[in-house]
């Protein structure tokens, strides 16, 4: 047994020595032209107006399969496996599904309410993107978050150690729901007003932004929230 191990160790040492000699003998120093070509190939680009050489699908082209338009967020990624494309389509159908109040003949779509902000996900996330700013009494695709500050010592400690930032309203919860099923009143209606906000000067042109502010909530059955 000892002879066997000695033989194995000897072969291992011989192999290592042979490999080391081959590595030294096989190393090649690139010529100045080759070194310059390699350096230019791996150097970071300074021109972002076009694709780099050897870049078949640059930046977002790796995942984009359609022309940019209002439905740009509604397409699945170009590199999504074929087996997962059905998952995307099913999820997209659920995202656009309109829910109704129970009881209903469409049992697969009932369960809406009693209070809500929209009948489908897409009604808030228009074309799978961001919401649309509200216009006066109409909240559009936006909603109002509700919160109160810490009151008890336990709540103050939770805020201090960053466990929570605030607490839900004891009546309306953490979100004002401005719609309700037939026969009920909504929790309230968010009112938004806009004020012009001048924004500097650039090349003699004066820019004016629209500063939005929540003016109040009306038609709240229990109490007025401001």
pLDDT along the chain (226 residues), means of 10: 36 38 55 88 80 63 69 81 91 93 88 92 86 71 88 94 92 91 89 81 72 68 41
Secondary structure of residue 125 in the 3-state scheme = coil
What is the reported pLDDT for 61? Answer: 66
How far is residue 61 from each of residues 15, 56, 84, measured CA to CA in Å? 48, 9, 19
> 122 and 95 in contact (C-beta within 8 Å)?
yes
CA distance 74 to 64: 11
Q: How much is the pLDDT for 225?
A: 39
Per the listing, tokens 């209070």 go with 115
Other Cβ atoms within 10 Å of 206 Cβ, number? 9
pLDDT at 119: 93
Residue 211 in 3-state DSSP?
strand
């Amino acid at each position: 047994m000892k002879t066997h191990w000695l033989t194995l160790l000897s072969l291992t040492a011989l192999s290592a020595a042979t490999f080391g000699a081959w590595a030294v003998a096989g190393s090649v120093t690139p010529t100045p032209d080759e070194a310059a070509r390699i350096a230019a190939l791996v150097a970071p680009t300074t021109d972002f107006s076009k694709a780099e050489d050897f870049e078949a699908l640059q930046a977002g082209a790796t995942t984009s399969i359609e022309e940019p338009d209002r439905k740009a967020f509604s397409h699945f990624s170009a590199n999504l496996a074929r087996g997962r494309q059905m998952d995307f389509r099913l999820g997209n159908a659920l995202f656009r599904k309109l829910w109704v109040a129970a009881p209903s003949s469409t049992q697969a779509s009932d369960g809406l309410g009693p209070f809500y902000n929209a009948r489908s996900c897409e009604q808030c996330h228009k074309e799978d993107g961001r919401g649309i700013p509200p216009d006066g009494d109409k909240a559009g695709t936006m909603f109002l978050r509700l919160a109160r500050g810490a009151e008890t010592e336990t709540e103050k400690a939770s805020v201090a150690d960053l466990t929570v930032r605030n607490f839900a309203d004891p009546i309306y919860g953490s979100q004002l729901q401005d719609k309700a099923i037939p026969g009920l009143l909504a929790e309230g209606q968010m009112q938004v007003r806009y004020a012009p906000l001048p924004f500097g000067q650039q090349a003699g042109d004066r820019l004016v932004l629209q500063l939005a502010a929540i003016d109040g909530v009306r038609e709240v059955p229990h109490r007025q929230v401001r």
